[in-house]
Amino acid sequence: MATAAKVQTHDIVVVGASAGGVEALSTLVSQLPRDLPAAVFVVQHLAPAFPSALPELLSRRGGPRAVHPVHGEEIVPGRIYVAPPDNHLLVRPGYVHVVRGPKENGHRPSVDALFRSASAAYGPRVVGVVLTGHLDCGTAGLLSVKARGGIAVVQDPDDAAAPEMPASAIQYVAVDHVARLPELPSLLERLVAEPVTSSRPARQPVALGELEGEEPGLPAEIVCPQCQGSLTLGEVGGFQVFRCHVGHAFSFESLAIEQSEEVERALWAAVRSLEESAAITRRARARATGDLQGRLGEKEDVQLQQADLIRGMLLHGRAKERSDVAEGDAPAAPGHPG
């Protein structure tokens, strides 16, 4: 007698969070049952240089046990796998990869890399969850989840400490569920118990290609701010992603931030170089005589003036940014839109 095929459920849950995420994750997992019939994978953006106590914090909240997995660890239901600091957490069929690959949107671990790898390995069995955070991390990854027949869940931006990540996901992705944080645990419990209805197969990633995009894209005529390699521009569902051949990836917003920081570093390096040149010129002038001494004095003055000009641009630009942020955060006056 033929054995009935096992009914597949949505037993792979991937969660991405950034600013405000520790509190959101703590609330979420505290209401999940210990024996949740799904494995949960979490990327929370944290400082890479310091150890993370997030697994211990989440485990104390009473839900499924949380761990920092090791490379090659087997996936089991009822467990929360938290990305270790400065490492990507990737999902492969039956086990996890923990690797130091190229940063995406300036982050390692990357929400998008986790979502993309899970959708490639498990297709329609995946539930992708985007929580609070700045910028647009998670949007490209959630598009991958949907493209493979998975379910897209987003925290209500009005309920998020930082609404940009969930708002971006809602803008670009055909989201299945938008819920406030207190509603998410029961929603996930229901979703992981539901049978998979999509027939779209998972796509196994090519060797060493877990961090690469779906398609190479077209030349962008811009260099990568992290490795100076050429960038290509690809698009999924109207959302555009820049990627270099090494694997660094950027949305428009994150690329603008990275390039701005690169320009600032270059300008501060120019200030240092000009001041060092002026110091050398000053020493040479002290040894010189006649017309040469005068010319060296003029050269030193020009170098110091150039250094002061660039420093003033940098400092005034920072002051203006702080002023703009303060004005943007200030409450609107009565009768005026915020």
pLDDT at 333: 34
For 168-178, what is the mean pLDDT? 97
CA distance 265 to 283: 27
Mean residue pLDDT across the chain: 87
pLDDT at 258: 84
Higher pLDDT: 2 or 140? It is 140
CA distance 134 to 119: 23
Higher pLDDT: 245 or 299? It is 299
Q: Say if strands 151-155 and 177-179 run parallel, antiparallel, or are unpaired.
A: parallel
| Cα angle for residues 202, 206, 210 (degrees, 5° grid) | 80
At 31, is the pLDDT very low, low, confident or very high (cuts 50, 70, 90)?
Answer: very high
Amino acid at 152: A
2 pLDDT exceeds 60?
A: no
At 5, is the pLDDT very low, low, confident or very high (cuts 50, 70, 90)?
Answer: low
pLDDT at 318: 61
pLDDT at 201: 62
326 pLDDT exceeds 70?
A: no
Cα(first)–Cα(last) distance of the chain, in Å? 68
89 pLDDT exceeds 70?
A: yes
CA distance 138 to 84: 18
205 pLDDT exceeds 60?
A: no
Among 123, 146, 120, 106, smallest CA distance to 239 is for 146
pLDDT at 332: 35
pLDDT at 243: 86
At 179, is the pLDDT very low, low, confident or very high (cuts 50, 70, 90)?
Answer: very high
208 pLDDT exceeds 70?
A: no
Per the CB < 8 A criterion, the answer to whether 231 and 244 are in contact is yes
Tens digit of each residue's pLDDT (9 = 90 or more) over 211-250:
544 555 788 888 888 888 888 888 877 888 888 888 888 8
Per the CB < 8 A criterion, the answer to whether 113 and 100 are in contact is no
Query: Which domains occur in the chain, in start order?
Result: 12-193 (3.40.50.180), 215-330 (no CATH)
pLDDT at 202: 59
| DSSP codes, 90-124 | EEETTEEEEE----BTTBSS-HHHHHHHHHHHHGG
Q: What percent of the chain has pLDDT over 90?
A: 66
51 pLDDT exceeds 80?
A: yes
CA distance 259 to 218: 20
CA distance 115 to 141: 5
174 pLDDT exceeds 80?
A: yes
